[in-house]
């Protein structure tokens, strides 16, 4: 449910939520019989009291917008006529004429603080197996043929609805392109946009895999510094006053900068979109783990500011399982035909059976239930990691980027994480990832920082790993 309460408003939050849900029902964005989150889950997700949600739900039930039955939860009531639809919603509803239808993460006894690895012990194997089997048995024979390169329509439609519920993004399913993970999505984007230029501006530090994908597409990476508010967009603005380079696109992780964790504020987001318009280049938004936010309200997507300039990349690797190899991209109308051709000759299409199964899983609410469950698990692990850092290191360590995602960054004052230090730690059974290795400039400004991924580790492994780090660093 996408809703950001205005805590400065004189209107009570319960009334704001009531008005939001009523609007979504009357505009048709929440459909008849559609199930809403439980009051407890929605309250936790929006960081508001459960009683506030209950107050809004009770008023909507009293007025006939919602109905509740024992064992079936709270749903949109039947028989409500859609009264109006905003221009944005109408645009999102349009469809085309024919579119209806390693390394090892854990190596033996080593505790690896690698980031971005979900807790696969909590993967819903039984539920997924049942859905996959049922879908495979019930699909008509025609669905076992080659499918469209842009993906199975059922999944594209399910993702569009999911993005609206979870991220507030309005997008037509015909703009949703299915990929074999976000890496393939970025590779396709780089191939398609290299005709616009040969330079890609990226955050520095940045994911090394991203830089490798861009380089393999024949493009040149140029780093833009990152501070406590994400990419320093003012550095991009200075480029406008110099001989302009041929820019293919700007790559950013605005909801949780990788690896430092900053959130790009609205002023910088708007400036970034202005830069893209002036340079006639795209902005690629990699939204890799924003589903897991533990502090404050959910952040909005950069994509909302200009869907014609911003390409949004998403993946199910972190929120579900890397083995699934399913992701998606939201692309401008102008790229649709070129994307389909490029995807077709890259791999024909992404595994169709998994697409049908994931579509069913999303429609039945399985993905959102899984996210809520994992959010609780990761929140406990995050809290345990923060407590262990405070217990072992006290004021000798500062933390950032902990509000969202599956990792945080720890800064150890006076400690330089050289290769010798990390090798010593590895020899004692702990693998850490220095931020400096992700720095494009290599100026040493991140030499005191390490990434601590915690989502795949047990509480015991987190405790033991930090104790080894403390003893090794003599802190």
Sketch the domain layout of the chain as residue ranges: 13-85, 140-365, 369-473
> Looking at residue 11, what is its pLDDT?
85
The verdict on domain 140-365 having CATH code 3.40.50.2300 is no
Contact indicator for 276, 282 with CB cutoff of 8 Å: yes
CA–CA separation, 182 and 54 (whole Å): 38
pLDDT surpasses 70 at 410: yes
pLDDT surpasses 80 at 147: yes
Over residues 384-412, the mean pLDDT reads: 96
Number of Cβ within 10 Å of residue 281's Cβ equals 22
Q: Is the dihedral of CA 327, 330, 332, 337 positive or negative?
A: positive
pLDDT surpasses 50 at 52: yes
Over residues 268-288, the mean pLDDT reads: 95
Range from 140-144, 309-313, 378-382 carrying the lowest mean pLDDT: 140-144
| CATH class of residue range 369-473 | alpha beta
Percentage, residues of the chain above pLDDT 70? 94
What confidence tens digit (pLDDT) does each residue in 232-241 have?
999 988 887 7
Q: Residue 172: which of 97, 242, 94 has the closest Cα? A: 94
pLDDT surpasses 60 at 94: no
> Looking at residue 71, what is its pLDDT?
77
pLDDT surpasses 60 at 104: no
Start-to-end Cα distance in the chain: 45
For 104, the 3-state DSSP assignment is coil
What confidence tens digit (pLDDT) does each residue in 311-322 have?
999 999 989 889
What's the fold here for domain 13-85?
Arc Repressor Mutant, subunit A (1.10.10)
Range from 19-23, 360-364, 378-382 carrying the lowest mean pLDDT: 19-23
Cα atoms found within 13 Å of the Cα of residue 264, Cβ hemisphere only: 31
Per-residue confidence band for 392, with pLDDT thresholds at 50, 70 and 90: very high
Q: Which token pair is 345?
A: 């000759």
pLDDT surpasses 60 at 87: no
CA–CA separation, 359 and 367 (whole Å): 10
pLDDT surpasses 90 at 420: yes
Q: Residue 329: which of 212, 187, 143 has the closest Cα? A: 187
CA–CA separation, 202 and 361 (whole Å): 34
pTM tops 0.85, yes or no = no
> Looking at residue 108, what is its pLDDT?
55
For 325, the 3-state DSSP assignment is coil
Place of tokens 């009770």: 58
Looking at per-residue confidence, does 283 or 101 come out higher? 283
Would you call the peptide bond into 177 cis, given omega within 30 degrees of 0 as the criterion?
no
Contact indicator for 406, 452 with CB cutoff of 8 Å: no
Number of Cβ within 10 Å of residue 349's Cβ equals 18
Number of Cβ within 10 Å of residue 325's Cβ equals 17
> Looking at residue 103, what is its pLDDT?
43
Number of Cβ within 10 Å of residue 141's Cβ equals 6
Cα atoms found within 13 Å of the Cα of residue 39, Cβ hemisphere only: 14
Q: Residue 181: which of 151, 206, 140, 153 has the closest Cα? A: 151
Q: What are phi and psi of 293, to 5 degrees?
A: -115, 130
Q: What are phi and psi of 205, to 5 degrees?
A: -80, 165
């Amino acid at each position: 449910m996408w809703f950001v309460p205005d805590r400065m408003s004189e209107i009570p939050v319960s009334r704001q939520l009531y008005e939001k849900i009523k609007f979504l029902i009357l505009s048709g964005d929440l459909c008849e019989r559609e199930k809403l989150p439980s009051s407890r889950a929605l309250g936790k997700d929006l960081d508001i009291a459960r009683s506030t949600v209950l107050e809004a739900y009770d008023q909507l039930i009293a007025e006939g917008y919602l109905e509740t039955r024992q064992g079936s939860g709270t749903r949109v009531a039947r028989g409500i006529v859609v009264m109006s639809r905003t221009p944005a919603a109408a645009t999102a509803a349009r469809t085309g004429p024919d579119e209806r239808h390693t390394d090892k993460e854990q190596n033996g006894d080593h505790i690896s603080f690698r980031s971005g690895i979900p807790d696969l012990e909590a993967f819903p194997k039984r539920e997924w197996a049942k859905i996959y089997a049922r879908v495979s048995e019930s699909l008509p024979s025609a669905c076992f043929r080659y499918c469209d390169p842009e993906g199975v329509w059922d999944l594209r439609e399910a993702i569009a609805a999911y993005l609206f519920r979870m991220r507030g993004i309005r997008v037509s399913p015909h703009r949703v392109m299915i990929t074999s993970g976000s890496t393939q999505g970025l590779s396709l984007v780089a191939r398609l946009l290299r005709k616009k230029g040969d330079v890609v501006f990226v955050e520095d530090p940045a994911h090394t895999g991203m830089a490798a994908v861009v380089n393999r597409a024949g493009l040149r990476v140029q780093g833009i510094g990152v501070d406590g508010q994400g990419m320093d967009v003012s550095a991009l603005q200075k480029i406008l006053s110099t001989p302009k380079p041929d820019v293919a696109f700007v790559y950013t992780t605005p909801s949780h900068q990788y690896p430092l964790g900053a959130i790009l504020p609205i002023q910088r987001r708007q400036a970034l979109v202005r830069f893209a318009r002036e340079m006639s280049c795209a902005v690629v938004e990699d939204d890799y783990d924003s589903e897991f936010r533990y502090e404050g309200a959910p952040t909005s997507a950069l994509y909302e500011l200009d869907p014609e300039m911003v390409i949004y990349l998403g993946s199910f690797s972190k929120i579900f399982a890397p083995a699934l190899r399913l992701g998606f991209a939201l692309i401008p109308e102008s790229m649709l035909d070129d994307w389909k051709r490029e995807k077709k000759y890259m791999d024909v299409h992404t595994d169709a059976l998994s697409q049908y199964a994931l579509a069913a899983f999303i429609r039945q609410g399985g993905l959102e239930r899984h996210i809520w469950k994992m959010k609780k698990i990761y929140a406990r692990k995050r809290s345990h990691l923060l407590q262990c850092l405070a217990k072992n290191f006290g004021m000798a360590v500062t933390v950032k980027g902990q509000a969202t995602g599956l990792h945080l960054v720890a800064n150890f004052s006076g400690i330089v994480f050289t290769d010798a230090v990390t090798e010593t730690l590895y020899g004692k059974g702990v693998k850490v990832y220095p931020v400096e290795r992700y720095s494009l400039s290599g100026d040493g400004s991140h030499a005191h920082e390490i990434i601590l991924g915690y989502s795949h580790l047990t509480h015991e492994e987190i405790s033991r790993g930090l104790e080894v780090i403390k003893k090794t660093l003599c802190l």
